[in-house]
Amino acid sequence: MNDYLELFADWYPEFLGTYFYPVRVAKTFTLKERESLLQQLNESQKELLAHHRKYRIRSLFLKNSYMQSTQWRFSELKINPFYPEPLPDGTKLICKCGRPLKYQFILHSTKRKKPIALGINHFADHLNIPIEVAREIQKGVNEIDIALDELLWLKKNQVAFPEQVWQRYCYAVFRNNQLAKPIQLNQKLPKRIKDFRDAQMPIYISDYEALETEIRRVNQQAQGDTAHFLAEKTLFEAFYEDFMVDLATTNLYTHKKFLTKKSKLLLTTKLEKLPFVFFGELLHQLQSLPREKPGLAKMIFQEFSRTKGKIVDEEVLDVVLRMYLTHGFNQSFFLGIPKVMRNGLLKAIRIEKEEQKQAFDAKIATLPDVFFQSFAVLLKSPETLNQPDILQHYLTSILGEGSGYINLDSLLVAMRHYLAGKPFEIAYAEIEKQLYQRLAVVF
């Protein structure tokens, strides 16, 4: 399929069809209307909107170049929707000068610990901040309130979280992760969307449009891409689970460190690139970990991180460890780690296998015929099929670690074919070449 989204549609036909999501909301609410709608939300939804609002207002202060040059930092915005009446509990929001407030800004000083409570129009009076700056901030707060009204209107009109688009977006991240030249995605967008999904809230219209845009961008980039696409439903579903964990922890999957081929971006030193020897050391460290005991594995890996791994970003190593403990060295592991680590470990594994093959060939070539004669007796015995461990023990006693290079399952299949009457040349045609040649002499 030329369009990778067609494959997604085949996997998940329930997400086919047109999904309606409003493209514009013109409604704004009064303070009392807004408060009434907020009270209809559950606690997780209220907490989400309060946290998100506070984050956006703090960003207003941080982005204001004048405020950055002062000692004052934003802490909290309190609102009295019943102004000029007091709040239901009888309290009032008061400015430092004693005037009652509708909006009370709580600021703290970087020089003094004591906070100060002010109305926006009193920034000039008490903090010597120009009135123009205060008005710019108030304008920003008003825009944030309009955006909040958009969410409340969507919720009031029973517009649900856009699960269809979210799933397609996650699939686009999965596809982008496998491109030869992946594009840089918006790192903050998926984390924000996941927070809204967890609270079962509709999302901002601008965020809905941003998801659609990201999907289109990946689709365009995928056209004609030369990298092999591991288009397996089970792989995507494993990746999706890992992506959800990443968004709740390191938030690395859409970061440029995850997709880059330049190891310099992952380093904590002035090195230009990771030395290849590091990947061999990392591979051996992972292979030695007891995956069945995650707590112990993490303790052992911490020592590696403090010594040989200290040249690499700690978050990157955390992701590598988490993926290995979850998946071992399967395809989901490699799709779940940064591309630099993926390529480096795959090369280290390939070199390790080549070295093992050379050692195995050398060992097989030097073993006396008596070994293969005894081995042939075991292979010809029907009893061995009932006790396959006999083969493994025999091979290990002679070859040591090299016995791992022999595929025991292939040997058992060959035994069945031979005992069923097929000649040796056909029955054992699929086993390791060097082993086949030595057995052919004695069978």
In a domain, 63, yes or no: yes
- Shared domain for 165 and 17, answered yes or no, is yes
In a domain, 26, yes or no: no
pLDDT (average), residues 127-154: 88
Cα 224 to Cα 214, 227, 339, distances in angstroms: 18, 9, 20
- Shared domain for 118 and 204, answered yes or no, is no
- Shared domain for 82 and 183, answered yes or no, is no
Quote the DSSP letter at residue 80. Answer: -
- Shared domain for 57 and 142, answered yes or no, is yes
> To the nearest whole number, what is the mean pLDDT of the chain?
90
Number of folded domains in the chain?
Answer: 4
In a domain, 50, yes or no: yes
Range in 61-70, 144-153, 350-359 with the lowest mean pLDDT:
61-70
- Shared domain for 304 and 340, answered yes or no, is yes
Strand-by-strand arrangement of the 103-109 sheet: 72-79, 103-109, 116-118
In a domain, 223, yes or no: yes
Range of the domain at 316: 263-356
For the whole model, what pTM was predicted?
A: 0.81
- Shared domain for 293 and 401, answered yes or no, is no
Q: Is the pLDDT of residue 1 over 50?
A: no
> What would the pLDDT profile of 49-82 be if each residue is shown by its tens digit?
999 988 888 888 877 767 777 788 888 888 888 8
- Shared domain for 35 and 150, answered yes or no, is yes
In a domain, 361, yes or no: no
At 20, is the pLDDT very low, low, confident or very high (cuts 50, 70, 90)? confident
CB-based contacts of 153: which residues, under 8 Å, 6+ apart? 25, 27, 29
In a domain, 362, yes or no: no
- Shared domain for 40 and 150, answered yes or no, is yes
- Shared domain for 16 and 71, answered yes or no, is no
